[in-house]
Amino acid sequence: MSADQEAIQDVFSSFFAAQTGPESVRNSMPLGFDPKAWERLSETGAPGMGVSLPAGGGASLSDLVIVAEEAGAQIAPLPIIDHVVASRILEKLNALESEILTGNLIAGLVLRPVENGIAKSVPTGSIANRLIALDEDKILLLKDEPPNKSLPNHGDLPIAHRGIKNATVIAEGVEATSVFKRGLHEWKTLISAFLVGITRSSIEMTVSYVKDRHQFGKPIGSFQSIQHGLADLPGLCDGARLLVNKAAWSGDREITGEINLTDNEISDFATLSSMSLIFAAETSLQATDRGLHYHGGYGFSEEYDIQLFYRKARAWSQIINSPSDECLHLADLLLEDKEG
Amino acid sequence: MDFELSEKAIDFRSQVKKFISKNLTTEIISKMHETGTFNDKSFNESLASEGLLAGAVPGYGDRDPVELYLLFNELEKAGAPYDGLAVTMLVAGVINAVGTEFHHEEVLNKLLSGKHNCCLGYSEPDYGSDVASITTKAEKIGNKWIINGQKMWTTMAHESDWVLLLTRTNSEVPKHKGMTMFLVPMNTPGIEIQPVATMASERTNATFYDNVEVEDQWRLSEVDDGWSVMGIALALERGVMGGTNPAVPLLKHVINWAETTSSKNKSLMINNALMRERIARTAIINQVGQLLTLRAAWIAATGGMPGVEGSMAKIYASEEYQKVVGWFQQMAGAEGLLSFGAEDAAASGWIDYDARHAPVTTIYGGTSEINRNNIAERHLGLPRSR
C-alpha cells in the first residue's frame, strides 16, 4: 500500500466507524439507507472520488477497493459502491451530472438484464435518483424519483423493483456496451472488497467474543474445536483480499491481461473480478456462519451485531448472480474457446 | 500492491521455464511414478549446471525468496520430481542460516552441485506432531556423539548423503530445551534404512540408528538448541517451497479429459454445468494458493519470517486440493478409479494418482491441526490449548 493509500484507509476507516456501523444499520431499517451518514460522506467528497482527475475525482480502482473494504467492515448502509461505479460509467458516456458528484443525487446500477421494462431487485432501487441499465446493446438512464420504500429483504438492503420504461437511451453499440460491462467488473471488484471487510470484522468480533465468554470455567476460545474453526478464517480473508487487490490492479492497467490455466497465470480483469466475487462471497459466508455459531444463542438474537454481518454477507454475495451462475460465467471466460 | 513480478524475477522464471521444457522428459515423469522416488539426480545436476539451483536455497546469496518460490512453483506446475530437491534445498537453507564453515564446505557446497541429497529425521514412531517429545538419543563421549534411536518418514533417505537429525541430548530440562540437531552422513556405520511403501506409490522410509558415531563437527548450532533450528527449518518449508499449487497440473489433466470424454447424455463432459462450475472454482483455488504463497515470499523478501502466513498457505492449498480431487474423482465415476496405464483411465490415470496423493498433503510438513494451532495462538492470540 502506498502512503496515499494508507491515508485513504485511515480517513475512511475512521469515517465509517464514526458515522456508520451496526447502530446506523439498525436505525436505517426498514429502508436500508442512512441519509444523514450519506450527507456526511458527501461532505468528504467521496461520492465524486471515482471519476477522472479533471472531473474532480482521481481515485484508482485500487484506491476505491480500500474505501470499499472499510465500508464493509462497518456494513455501512450507504450506496457508495454503486454510486461511484455509476459515476465512472456516466463520465465515460458523457452523461455525468454535477449533482451526482456532490452526492445530492444518488446513482445506481441495474446489475441484471431488464425484463419487460422492469429492473428487478435493484440493490439501490428504493433510493436511487438515477439508474443505469443495459438493454441489448443500449445503455439506458432512468431519471426518476425513488420510491423510498424497500422490499423487505434478508440483508436490509434498499432493494426495489423499478420500472424503466421512461428511461432514455444515452449510448448504444459495442463500445458503450463494453463501458457498462467494465462497470460491472468494477462493481464486482468493489463489492468483493466490501465482503472482505465483512469477513475481517466478523473474525475480529468473534475472536474477541470467544476470549470473553466463559463456559466450564474457561474462555471458550481456549477450546481447540473453536480455535480450529476460527483458524481457517484469516487465511481465507487474506486470500480474498489478495485476489481483490489483484483484480483492482488488473483493472487499473491499460493493457489487456491473459488467462492461462495451465500456468496458473491470470491477469484478465473480467476474470479476476468474477473470481474475487465468488471467493470473497464464499469466504464471507463461512466467516459469518462460524462467527454467529460461536456466539451461541446470542449470535441469533437481534441485539448482537454478528447477525447483521451474517445477513449482509449473504445479501451482497448473490444480489448480482447466484454463486453457481457466477461460476458458470467465470467458466465461460476461462474456457472461452470451449463449448458451454 | 504490485502484482507484476520484477524484471529480474521474470527473467529468472523464463530461464526456469526454458529449462523445464528442455530437460523434463516424459521418461523422467514416468520414472518417478514407477519408482516412487520423486527425485532425479541428473535432472537436479542439470539445474545446478544451468546456475538455477543457487536460487533454490532460502536466504542464500543474492537470490530472493520470490525466485525460490518461482523455481518450485514452476517445477510443481510441470509435474517435475522436486520433492527430494525441496528437502535438500531446505537443509541447504538451514546450513546457510546456522552452519559452520565446515558445514558450508562439506555439505552446502556439495548440495548446490545437484549431485547430493539430504533428508529430514524429525518424526519418530511414537512422536509425529508432538515432535518435541522425540527420544532418539545423542550422548557425548569425548569429542564424539553416539546416537541411538529410530526415525519415521525419512523420505529420500535412500537417495541422501546426509540426514538432518533431531536428537534428545538432555532429559533433565523441559522437552523443547533438550534437543540438538545434527547433520549425519548417511554412510556412517550403524544406520539402516527400511523402505515404507505408501498408497500413492511415493516411497518413504524408516531409519534406524544403532550406536551411530559422529564427530562433534557434525552438530548444527549449539547443544540443546535443536528446537530453534527446527523453527528455522519449518518457517523455510511452509509455503514457499512448492506444495501450494498441486491442483494446477490436476486441472490441466482434468480439462484435457473433459474435452475429449462424453458424459452419460453423450455430450462432452466439458459442457456439463457442474463440471464447469468446479473447473471455475478450482481455477480460483489455484489463484488464491499462488497469492498466499507469494505473500509469504514477499514477507521473506523484506526480511520477515512468514511463519503464520506459511501456515495459512499450507492449510489452504492442501485442504482445497483434497476437496478438488474428490470432486473430479466422483465426477469421473468408475473411470476415475483407473490408474496410470489402464485403458480408459480418466485423465490418463492422473485423477486416481492425485486422489491417492492428496491425503498426505494435510499431514506432512506439519498437519493442518498443527498449523491451525499455530494460527490460533500466534495470529488470533487465543490461549494455548495443549
CATH for A209: 1.20.140.10
| Residues in Cβ contact with A336 at an 8 Å cutoff, skipping those fewer than 6 apart | A259
Residue A319 near residue A187, CB atoms below 8 Å:
no
**Residue B87, SS3?**
helix
Q: Is B150 left (phi over 0), alpha (psi -120 to 50) or beta?
A: beta
Closest CA to A200 of A291, A109, A86, A334: A291
* B277 contact residues in A (CB cutoff 8 A): 324, 327-328, 331
Question: If residue A171 lies in a helix (H) or strand (E), which one and from where to where?
Answer: strand A168-172
Q: Using the beta-carbon criterion (under 8 Å), do B288 and A242 form an inter-chain contact?
A: yes
Distance CA A100, CA A110 (A): 17
* Closest-CA distance of chain A to residue B208, Å: 35
In a domain, A112, yes or no: no
Task: Classify A260 as helix, strand or coil.
Answer: strand
> What is d(CA B165, CA B138) in angstroms, rounded to the nearest whole number?
10
Taking the CB of residue B341, how many other CB atoms lie within 10 A of it? Answer: 11
Which amino acid appears at position B105 of this protein? E
Average pLDDT over chain A reads: 96
pLDDT reading at A178 higher than 70: yes
Identical fold, B120-226 and B238-378: no
> Which among A65, A207, A209, A232 is the top mutation candidate for probing chain B, defined by the most B β-carbons within 10 Å of its own β-carbon?
A232
Banded model confidence at residue B53, pLDDT cuts 50, 70, 90: confident
Q: C-alpha cell of B320? A: 482445497
Nearest chain A Cα distance for residue B170, angstroms? 30
Enclosing domain of residue A211: 178-334
In a domain, A135, yes or no: no
Question: For the whole model, what pTM was predicted?
Answer: 0.95
- B21: pLDDT strictly greater than 80: yes
The answer to whether A339 contacts B273, with C-beta atoms less than 8 Å apart, is no
- Tell me the one-letter amino acid at B225: D
Task: Find the CB nearest A266 among B277, B287, B316.
Answer: B287
* Distance to chain A for B117, nearest Cα, Å: 28
Contact state of A224 with B385 under an 8 Å Cβ cutoff: yes
Question: What pLDDT is attached to residue B62?
Answer: 67
Question: Which CATH fold topology does B120-226 show?
Answer: Butyryl-CoA Dehydrogenase, subunit A; domain 2 (2.40.110)
**Number of domains forming the structure of chain A:** 1
Mean pLDDT over residues B48-65, rounded?
77
Query: Which of A327, A328, A329, A337 should be substituted to probe chain B, the one whose Cβ sees the most B Cβ atoms within 10 Å?
Result: A327
Residue A121 in domain: no
pLDDT band at B56 (very low <50, low <70, confident <90, very high): low
**If you average pLDDT over residues A156-174, what whole number do you get?**
97
- Answer whether B277 sits within 8 Å of A231, measured CB to CB: no
Q: What band does A338 get if pLDDT is binned at 50, 70 and 90?
A: low
- Give A279's contacts in chain B (Cβ within 8 Å): 284, 288
pLDDT grade for B306, boundaries at 50, 70 and 90: confident
CB contact under 8 A, B280 and A239: no
Query: Computed from CA positions of residues B165, B169, B171, B172, in that sequence, does the dihedral angle turn out positive or negative?
Result: negative
Q: Give the start-to-end residue ranges of the domains of chain B.
A: 7-116, 120-226, 238-378
The whole-number pLDDT of residue B238 equals 61
The CATH code for residues B7-116 is 1.10.540.10
**B241, three cell numbers:** 517451497
Does A226 reside within a domain? yes
Cα–Cα dist A179/A175, whole Å: 6
- What are the grid coordinates assigned to B144, written together? 564424539
Taking CB atoms and an 8 Å limit, are B279 and A334 in contact across chains? yes
Question: Measured between alpha carbons, how far is B100 from B123 in angstroms, rounded to an integer?
Answer: 25
Name which residue leads in pLDDT, A145 or B365.
A145
Confidence of residue A337 (pLDDT cuts 50, 70, 90): low
User: Closest Cα to residue B366, out of B89, B130, B93, B59?
Assistant: B130
Cell numbers representing residue B371 in the block: 498449523
**Distance (Å) from the C-alpha of residue A60 to the closest C-alpha of chain B?**
12
How many CB atoms lie under 10 A from the CB of residue A4? 12
Degrees to nearest 5, angle at CA B329 with B324 and B334: 170
Query: Residue A254: what pLDDT?
Result: 81
Q: What is the pLDDT of residue B299?
A: 84
Average pLDDT over residues A209-229: 97
**Is B382's CB within 8 Å of A335's CB?**
no
Cα torsion B40, B41, B46, B51: sign: positive
Q: Which CATH architecture has domain B238-378?
A: Up-down Bundle (1.20)
The closest of B378, B247, B227, B359 to B311, measured between CA atoms, is: B378
CB contact under 8 A, B271 and A328: no
Which of B77, B287, B314 should one mutate to test binding to chain A, selecting the residue with the greatest count of A CBs within 10 A? Answer: B287
Where helices occur in chain A by DSSP H, the ranges are: 3-19, 22-27, 35-43, 61-73, 80-92, 98-101, 174-212, 224-252, 269-294, 297-300, 306-318, 323-334
pLDDT tens-digit map of B101-143: 999 999 999 999 999 999 999 999 999 999 999 999 999 999 9
The answer to whether residue A184 is domain-embedded is: yes
